[in-house]
């Protein structure tokens, strides 16, 4: 069994067009990449495609009603929709610190969902704008 | 009521402005202040919660808020002063300006030099002249991004996206992740507006159809959007009769271009380039007013925030040197012209005082081996392709420029080899 797949590299903004050839479940050649990161990306894409997931969670008492979060590392692509649901049910209390763990080991991926910004309380922001 | 007196003032605490503050401190300016109308710092990056920022600046992929967090920390460590909730509403020809702040009221700011870093705005529906009604449910992609990512609202459930700028592509995936249905992305041009990797990871990953040379020709619905009519277009971008198709949807997102935001620059009589719609600057990022510098998307719309930060830092450094009187106004003025395939570029002139980076976009895509050139013989770099959605750059060394002697014009172009 041999298979050829066209992959657009997302490792950096260049977006190289790559062709990966697979024989009997093994990647045998990768072409079209202009750096080693592309080769690595194509290999992972052929065997275990992953993406960084980014969304928001509800915040109680925050300067904003939601706080952005991300998966600390890329998560398996086919787990993304399961993760969107897990994240949708979370509410955290302000203040939130950047890198604070929001969900540990999300959907058994071994990857944590962490805050991607610091969010002060609503009260502290109101005090500042009044010169307090 | 005393004025606020600073060495370098920066307008806007987005990525360009924060980097300008850092650059000004690095170059030795004592009092550097950034004025921001929002309560928070970071500008548009606070709503760009997806990863993809900072590969050049920090060697890793960060989300927008993470990227800007690093720059804010840098600026605070450097001793940059931040004035939030401070809206600049008027600017004088000499560069002095007026702010409005809820606790201080109205104040005048006097600076030895300043950096304009107001960024850009999205092209709205009104600029497109699409026939039909004007119901609720039509948003620019950036507005929808703010609603979802910062205010916690979903703009709708069945979404059509007009235009393929990066924010539109990112929002296609974002809406899918939040449970909406995205019917397709429609681009009037024969080529995509955004980066190829965003088409791969935002559209292809989720099977969202992408239509080139198709556009929305009519909007339907009375109170809420009920649908749009799309059609193919010919070479002159006119709709082709018989190709119309009705799509039922409750949301239309517009990702049809960004326009530099130069209301304040115009008040100060800074000369604006009609093509980029940003201030005319030289390689030092100095505008036609010697004490006023400009950087980032207020000058020319970049693809990557990393370049915006780099240019911001450059503008801040030069503004600080100007404030300290160390800056020699250029005696020589070399015009930068665009060749056949480059209309959009910046800077538009060189003062002949430092190395220069020239940013440009091709007008027509070249899908084969091509080269960026700066004539006469100042720069040449091979490219595998050149696309309007992806900015290119050229570097001109001061010593090469000086070696040319009396040259008053150079030409940048991207052409086939």
Pairing of strands B62-63, B51-53: antiparallel
**pLDDT tens digits for range A5-64:** 888 888 887 888 888 888 887 888 888 888 888 888 888 888 889 999 999 999 999 999
| Closest alpha carbon within chain B to A49 | B205
Give the pLDDT of residue B328.
72
- The mean pLDDT value for B219-229 works out to 97
Average pLDDT for A95-120: 97
Q: What is the mean pLDDT of chain B?
A: 95
Q: Is B383 on the interface with A (CB under 8 A)?
A: no
Find out whether B170 and B72 touch, Cβ atoms under 8 Å.
no
- CB–CB of B220/B191 below 8 Å? no
At B247, the pLDDT band (50, 70, 90 cuts) reads: very high
Mean pLDDT computed over B124-128: 91
Best mutation target, B197, B205, B369, to test chain A (most A CBs within 10 A)? B197
| Predicted pLDDT at B331 | 57
- What are residue B177's phi and psi, to 5 degrees? -65, -30
Distance from CA of B369 to the nearest CA of A (A): 14
> For B289, which DSSP code?
S
Is the pLDDT assigned to residue A2 strictly greater than 80? no
Which ipTM did the prediction report? 0.91
Residue of A nearest to B198 (CA): A10
Q: Nearest C-alpha of chain A: how many angstroms from B102? A: 7
pLDDT digits (tens, 9 = 90+) for B201-219: 999 999 999 999 999 999 9
Determine the average pLDDT of the residues in A73-92: 96
Query: pLDDT by residue (tens digit) across B79-97?
Result: 999 999 999 999 999 999 9
Q: Tell me which of A14-18, B102-106, B149-153, B189-193 is least confident.
A: A14-18
Which CATH number applies to A54-129? 3.10.530.10
Q: Put the strands of the sheet holding B245-248 in their side by side order.
A: B214-220, B227-232, B245-248
- Phi and psi dihedrals of B383, rounded to 5? -130, 155
Please give the model's pTM, rounded to 2 decimal places: 0.94
Q: Is the confidence at residue B167, as pLDDT, over 60?
A: yes
Q: What is the pLDDT of residue A1?
A: 63
Asked if A98 and B39 come within 8 Å (Cβ–Cβ), the reply is: no
* Residue A20 confidence (pLDDT): 86
State how far the alpha carbon of B91 is from the alpha carbons of A108, B31, B98, B119, B292, in Å: 56, 20, 6, 17, 11
**Predicted pLDDT at A132:** 38
Closest CA to B395 of B385, B380, B413: B380
Residue spans of the domains in chain B: they are 1-123+257-328, 124-256, 330-417
- Whether residue B55 and residue A12 make contact (CB cut-off 8 A), yes or no, is yes
Which run of H or of E encompasses A127?
helix A122-129
Angstroms from B303 CA to nearest CA on chain A: 9
CATH 3.10.530.10 maps onto chain A at 54-129
Cα-atom radius of gyration of chain A, to the nearest Å? 20
CATH, domain B124-256, list 1.10.10.10, 2.30.40.10, 3.50.50.60, 3.40.190.10? 3.50.50.60
CB contact under 8 A, B63 and A12: no
Instruction: Assign A131 a pLDDT band (cuts: 50, 70, 90).
Output: very low
Q: Are both B1-123+257-328 and B124-256 of the same fold? A: yes
Q: Which residue of A has its CA nearest to B101?
A: A129
Q: What is the mean pLDDT of residues B38-64?
A: 94
Q: Cα dihedral sign for B164, B167, B170, B174?
A: negative
**Residue A129 confidence (pLDDT):** 54
B384-392 mean pLDDT: 90
Rounded to an integer, what distance in angstroms lies between the CA atom of residue B157 and that of residue B191? 27
Fold of B1-123+257-328: FAD/NAD(P)-binding domain (3.50.50)
């Amino acid at each position: 069994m041999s298979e050829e797949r066209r992959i657009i590299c997302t490792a950096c903004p260049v977006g190289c067009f790559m062709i990966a050839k697979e024989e009997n479940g093994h990647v045998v050649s990768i072409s079209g990449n202009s750096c080693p990161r592309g080769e690595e990306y194509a290999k992972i894409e052929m065997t275990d495609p992953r993406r960084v997931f980014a969304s928001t969670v509800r915040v109680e008492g925050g300067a904003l009603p939601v706080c952005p979060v991300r998966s600390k590392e890329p998560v398996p692509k086919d787990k993304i929709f399961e993760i969107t649901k897990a994240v949708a049910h979370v509410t955290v209390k302000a203040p939130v610190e950047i890198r604070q763990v929001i969900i540990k080991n999300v959907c058994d991926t071994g990857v944590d969902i962490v805050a991607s910004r610091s969010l002060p309380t609503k009260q502290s922001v109101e005090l500042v704008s009044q010169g307090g | 009521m005393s004025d606020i007196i600073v060495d370098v003032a920066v307008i806007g605490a987005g990525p360009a402005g924060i980097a300008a503050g850092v650059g000004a401190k690095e170059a030795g300016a004592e009092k550097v202040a950034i004025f921001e109308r929002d309560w928070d710092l970071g500008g548009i990056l606070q709503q760009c919660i997806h990863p993809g920022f900072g590969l050049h600046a920090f060697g890793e992929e960060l989300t927008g808020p993470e990227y800007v967090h690093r720059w804010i920390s840098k600026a605070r460590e450097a001793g940059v002063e931040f004035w939030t909730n401070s809206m600049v509403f008027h600017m004088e020809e000499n560069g002095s300006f007026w702010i409005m702040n809820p606790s201080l009221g109205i104040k005048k700011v006097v600076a030895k030099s300043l950096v304009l870093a107001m960024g850009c705005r999205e092209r709205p529906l009104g600029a497109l002249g699409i026939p039909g009604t004007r119901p609720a449910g039509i948003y620019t992609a950036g507005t929808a991004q703010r609603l979802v990512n910062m205010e916690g609202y979903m703009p709708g459930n069945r979404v059509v996206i007009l235009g393929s700028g990066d924010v539109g592509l990112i929002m296609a995936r974002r809406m899918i992740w939040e449970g909406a249905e995205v019917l397709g992305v429609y681009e009037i041009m024969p080529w995509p507006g955004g980066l190829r990797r965003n088409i791969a990871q935002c559209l292809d990953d989720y099977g969202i159809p992408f239509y080139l040379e198709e556009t929305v020709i009519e909007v339907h619905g009375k109170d809420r959007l009920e649908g749009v009519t799309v059609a193919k277009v010919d070479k002159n971008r006119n709709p082709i009769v018989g190709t119309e198709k009705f799509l039922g949807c409750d949301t239309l997102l517009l990702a049809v271009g960004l326009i530099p935001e130069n209301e304040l620059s115009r008040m100060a009589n800074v000369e604006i380039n009609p093509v980029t719609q940003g201030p005319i600057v030289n390689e030092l990022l100095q505008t036609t007013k010697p004490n006023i510098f400009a950087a980032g998307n207020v000058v020319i719309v970049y693809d990557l925030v990393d370049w915006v930060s780099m240019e911001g830092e450059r503008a801040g450094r030069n503004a600080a040197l100007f404030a300290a009187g160390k800056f020699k106004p250029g005696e020589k003025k070399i015009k930068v012209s665009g060749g056949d395939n480059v209309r959009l570029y910046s800077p538009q002139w060189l003062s002949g005082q430092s190395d220069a980076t020239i940013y440009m976009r091709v007008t027509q895509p070249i899908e084969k081996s091509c080269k960026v050139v700066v004539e006469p013989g100042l720069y040449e770099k091979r490219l595998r392709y050149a696309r309007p959605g992806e900015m290119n750059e050229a570097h001109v060394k001061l010593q090469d420029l000086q070696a040319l002697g009396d040259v008053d014009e150079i030409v940048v172009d991207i052409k086939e080899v």
